């Protein structure tokens, strides 16, 4: 069984690299770790298995008393960010252990979770990509959402697209390839884009392996 992996980091930005064939590959650079294992939760004691990681040192006077005791019990310095990873098997980790970017290997697939960029209040054309109404001079509805109600129900149904707040939501991008993992400089380079602005906090976890499909034998003449 593959060991579950996870780490917290800051998105530094995007750039490009060149592969063996000389093709430009867009990549995202993440300052991943170092992270400390603050707590291990078990199904017997807590009802589920999970690993709590801390990232980015914090001043002790900035941490309240309960959190200060929590970090002291784990034997780690106070952290600004605490993230819990639900893993089915956490036996490979110990409380107080330090995790760096080289916990991942090039070629692995990871999921990246972060808060997307906030766009503020947006209309339906920007928010949902609607094409809008006719652009002719006589049209009175160019960028409006038109009618959103019903004639018999006399109400607006849930899920109807309306203008409103866009972005600033939790987004997960799955299956990104690890191009490079530098444990000395705490840099993790992933192929593609990840959610959030530069400097945003992201959590990186290994993409769970999907069970392989078993081909069913075709029975000739069945049902006759």
Quote the pLDDT of residue 127: 93
Distance from the Cα of residue 131 to its chain's centroid? 30
Please confirm whether the linkage preceding 85 is cis (ω < 30° from 0). no
Q: Which of 129, 123, 119, 80 is nearest to 197 (CA)?
A: 119
In the predicted model, is pLDDT for residue 1 greater than 50? no
Query: What is the structure's pLDDT at 211?
Result: 65
User: Mean pLDDT throughout 97-119?
Assistant: 91
Q: Average pLDDT of 154-174?
A: 90
Amino acid 214: pLDDT: 66
pLDDT confidence of residue 219:
63
Q: Using CA atoms in the order 16, 22, 23, 26, what is the torsion angle rounded to 10 degrees?
A: -10
**Predicted TM-score (pTM) of this structure:** 0.79
Structure token pair of residue 82: 């605490």
Sketch out the chain's domains with CATH numbers: 1-32+101-122+161-209 (2.40.30.10), 35-99 (3.30.160.810)
Q: Taking the mean position of all CA atoms in its chain, how far away is CA 85? A: 12
- With a cut of 90, say whether residue 21 has pLDDT above it: no
Q: Is 183 exposed, middle or buried, given 0-12, 13-18 or 19+ CB atoms closer than 10 A?
A: middle
Per-residue pLDDT of 170-221, as tens digits, reads 999 999 999 999 988 999 999 999 999 999 999 999 887 766 666 666 666 6
Q: Is 132 left (phi over 0), alpha (psi -120 to 50) or beta?
A: left
34-62: per-residue pLDDT in tens? 999 998 888 888 888 888 999 988 888 88
């Amino acid at each position: 069984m593959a060991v579950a992996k996870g780490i917290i980091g800051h998105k530094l930005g995007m750039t490009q690299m060149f592969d063996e064939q000389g093709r430009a590959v867009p990549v995202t650079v993440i300052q991943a770790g170092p992270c400390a294992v603050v707590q291990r939760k078990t199904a017997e004691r807590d009802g589920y298995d999970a690993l709590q990681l801390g990232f980015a040192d914090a001043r002790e006077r900035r941490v309240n008393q309960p959190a200060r005791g929590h970090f002291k019990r784990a034997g780690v310095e106070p952290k600004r960010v605490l993230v819990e990873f639900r893993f089915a098997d956490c036996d490979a980790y110990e409380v107080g252990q330090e995790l760096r970017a080289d916990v991942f290997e090039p070629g692995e697939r990871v999921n990246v979770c972060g808060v997307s960029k906030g766009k503020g209040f947006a209309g339906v054309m920007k928010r949902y990509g609607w094409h809008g109404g006719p652009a002719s001079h006589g049209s009175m509805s160019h960028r409006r959402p038109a009618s959103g109600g019903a004639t018999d129900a006399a109400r607006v149904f849930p899920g109807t697209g309306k203008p409103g707040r866009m972005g600033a939501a939790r987004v997960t991008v799955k299956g990104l390839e690890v191009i490079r993992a530098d444990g000395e400089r705490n840099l993790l380079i992933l192929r593609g884009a990840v959610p959030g602005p530069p400097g945003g906090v992201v959590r990186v976890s290994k993409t769970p392996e999907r069970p392989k499909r078993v081909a069913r034998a075709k029975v000739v003449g069945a049902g006759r």
